[in-house]
Structure 1
Amino acid sequence: MFRSFTLLVCLTLVTFQALAQEVINNQSIITLVRAKVARDLILDKIKASASRFNMSTNGLIELKQAAVPDQIVDAMMLASSPLPTLRNQDIIDLYAGGVSRDIITKKIQYSETSFNLSTDDIIALKTAKVPDQLVKVMMVPKRAQQQSMNPNLIAGALPPHPETLPVPARIRFGEPGIYYEEYKTPKPQYVQFEPTTTNQTKTGSVGESVANQYTGGITGTTSRVGLANKSANMVIEDNRPVFYLVFSGVNRKDMNNVAESVFDGVASPNDFVLIRAKVSGRGREVVIGRESAYTSESGFSAGAVPFRFKKISNTLYKVYFEQDVAAGEYAFLYNKGSEFTSSLKIYDFSLRNNTK
């Protein structure tokens, strides 16, 4: 009996040791995918196992043909170091093989590169139908790495926002609001912001609260408002954007009574602040006030971005910048402290460009 038990224990240990020593490869992943094993389980398997993946051009094309999801391919590339050096022909073959632009971009990001981008080479890439966006990443391969740290950074230069565009008539905009001047279309288009109303205000972090209590309220706490998602629905690609603020022309309310109908009460862009939101795993947040034992400030924001404006008429203002604005998450906030007791109306947008 004891001998049988000992044999069973030995066999179990051998089995566990064999499992622990398993080295997974491309075929292992393809087999798991074809067996319809859950994606999260495959990702955990990649993280927990020794691996010897083939992340060459042919290896990636084989994974694509086997319908391995991009998220799993990305994890396989991250688990493989170093990756083979990339050259022009690799990009041509990867794209012709149906590998997604996202995976090709990440492949450039994770690899050493030796691209040739002379005039003839760019024409050859164009002839092979490699998308311009990928060629731009090839021109500045480290830009892909920057993009991984800041998703708002994009590869390639953006055309400058023209300073000579004619000022549109007030009637062009219609209802009051904030409009972005889209300049990359044949004729300028004016895209209206959809406001986000929120009253999800948070006061102080755990660290702030402890420090504030320890110092008798001297250090103070900050009030923050949270925004859902890590990025706004409104996406702008511009290094130096131009906005138009359109106000109501009649029945303006007293400034102290403005709440929901913001544009029926404000008088100029001076009543707004442009803020850069902080992005975290839980979404975005902006600071709207600070309070300590000696001071109480509201109607301001950490991360405020200065802007200039020009009055076109009593109800129309042009807002512009004298320097490039860094890529990131932003919002126009009605900057009146007395209104922070009611819901906040925020005009948020994602600014994507080449400026960090």
Structure 2
Amino acid sequence: MKTLRNLLLLFFLSLASLGLAQETITNESVIQMVELGFDDFMIIDKINNSDVKFDASISALGEMKDAGVSSEVLSLIMAKSRQNTKSKTGIYYTNLQGEQEIIQPSVFSGANSNAAAQKLVSGLINSKEKAQLPGTKSNNVLSTSSPEFTFIFDPSVTDVDNMQNNQGGETGIFNWWFRMASNPNEFVLVRLTVKERKNLREIITGKNSWITSSSGIDPKYALNFNIETIEGNKFKVTPDTLEPGEYCFIYQGAVPQGRDNQSVFDFSIQ
């Protein structure tokens, strides 16, 4: 009986240890440890032996300093934040459950042009090139008109053959946008036009006439957003208030040889 009791105790202790190992330490966790009277040695040891998810923006660090977090602990938090940006590149948003979730790129399913109409009127109008996404709604649903996004880059790797990385727990997803770019200014935010009858969303990506042609997103369609550096290659992006509808971030920088820019990072505002 005693042996069985010891085995059960060992089993429950193992479960408890597993739960602690999976605990994620955040800014709030550190502040809580300070309030509970933990010394720096204990806090630093806990950070070094746990998964972490820190906000190392200036405002967040200021809040922690005001809460009594020491300079030594703040330095460690900044270092951990820099380490966490590696191999986690992409655009993140806060989902309906309050968790950070990555926006996987959506690929254009086709393109449309009214070039034939333009020819009929001998250049009196421009033909518009439109890229299309399937479906009338994005899988990434945000329930706020004032969303915040986190952009994470890793421009240290620019060799095309080395731009593969693990993303969202899946291997082999090609995420070159955040290797080529170094900040959110290389992306543009636009609203997608929803075509209910055709079950698609589209955006104008170019114009042509018998005299001139242009490609890319017209600046008049670009929506404003603010950028705050969190740490290193990690940024907080806050658009101006967005009305309910379909939107996407589109990369507008240099495209590596052998790749095309036929994907966008789409989301819905509800």
The bucket for the TM-score relative to the shorter chain is 0.5 to 0.7
Number of the residue aligned with 2:207: 290
Residues 345 and 221 of structure 1, relative CA distance in 2, 3 Å threshold: same
* Number of equivalenced pairs: 178
Is the CA contact (8 Å cut-off) linking 1:220 and 1:291 kept in structure 2? yes
Look up the match of 2:181: 266
Q: What's the offset of the Cα at 1:308?
A: 1.5
**Which residue, out of 252, 257, 261, partners 2:158?**
252
Deviation for aligned residue 1:253: 5.1
Task: Give 1:215 shift.
Answer: 3.5
1:176 Cα deviation from its structure 2 partner: 0.4
State the one-letter code of the partner of 1:296.
S
Higher relative contact order (CA 8 A, sep 6+): 2
Contact 1:253 1:265 (C-alpha < 8 Å) held by counterparts = no
- In the other structure, the counterpart of 2:101 is 191
8 Å Cα contact 2:96-2:143 kept in structure 1: no
- What are the Cα deviations for residues 194-227 of structure 1, in whole angstroms up to 9, with x where unaligned? 11123622222xxx632x1234224221111111
Q: Which residue of 2 aligns with 1:177?
A: 90
CA contact (8 A) 1:298 1:337 kept: no
- Secondary structure of 1:251 counterpart: coil
Amino acid at match of 2:102: Q
1-structure distance, mates of 2:181, 2:159: 8
Q: Which entry has the higher C-alpha Rg, 1 or 2?
A: 1
- Cα displacement (A) at 1:252: 2.6
1:351 paired residue number: 269
Alpha-carbon distance change, 343 to 271 in structure 1, aligned in 2, over 3 angstroms:
closer
Whether the 8 Å CA contact 2:95–2:141 is kept in 1: the answer is no
Query: Hey, what does 2:73 align to over in structure 1?
Result: none
Distance 1:289 1:192 in 2: 28
Q: How far apart in 2 are the matches of 1:288 and 1:197? A: 14
Could you say which residue in structure 1 is the equivalent of 2:250? 333
Partner of residue 230 from structure 2, selected from 309, 312, 322: 312
* Equivalent residue number for residue 209 of structure 1: 116
Give a deviation string over 1:23-78, Cα, whole Å, max 9, x none.
Answer: xxxxxxxxxxxxxxxxxxxxxxxxxxxxxxxxxxxxxxxxxxxxxxxxxxxxxxxx
Provide the secondary structure at the position in 1 that maps to 2:182.
coil
Q: Spell out, residue by residue over 1:262-283, the C-alpha distance to the aligned partner (whole angstroms, 9 max, x if none).
A: 1111121111111111111221
SS at match of 1:297: strand
Q: 1:298 to 1:177 in 2, by over 3 A?
A: same
Paired residue for 1:279? 194
1:324 aligns with 2:234: no
Mapped to 2, the partners of 1:226 and 1:328 lie a distance apart of 16
Given that 1:288 and 1:298 are in contact with CA atoms closer than 8 Å, whether structure 2 keeps it comes out as yes
Q: Give the TM-score of the pair, scaled to structure 1.
A: 0.44
Alignment-derived partner of residue 200 in structure 1: 110
Q: Unpaired segments of 5 or more residues in structure 1?
A: 1-163
- 138, 141, 166: which one aligns with 2:60: 166
Residues 180 and 254 in structure 2, CA contact (< 8 A), matched pair in contact too? no
Contact 1:260 / 1:345 at 8 angstroms: preserved in 2? no
CA distance in 1, matches of 2:208, 2:147: 33
Matched residues in 2 for 1:175 and 1:183: separation? 21
Partner Cα distance (2:138, 2:59) in 1 = 27
Structure 2 unaligned segments of length 5 or more: list them.
1-57, 62-77, 161-173
State the distance in 1 between where 2:155 and 2:255 align.
23
Deviations 1:130-178 (A, max 9, x none): xxxxxxxxxxxxxxxxxxxxxxxxxxxxxxxxxx983893555651000
Alignment RMSD, CA only?
Answer: 3.2
Mapped to 1, the partners of 2:253 and 2:221 lie a distance apart of: 17
Structure 2 length normalisation: TM-score? 0.57
Within a 5 Å distance, the mapping from 1:19-168 to structure 2 comes to: 166=60
- Displacement of 1:337: 7.9
The alpha-carbon deviation at position 232 of structure 1 amounts to 0.6
Mapped to 2, the partners of 1:318 and 1:178 lie a distance apart of: 10
Larger strand proportion of the pair: 2
Percent identity over paired residues: 24
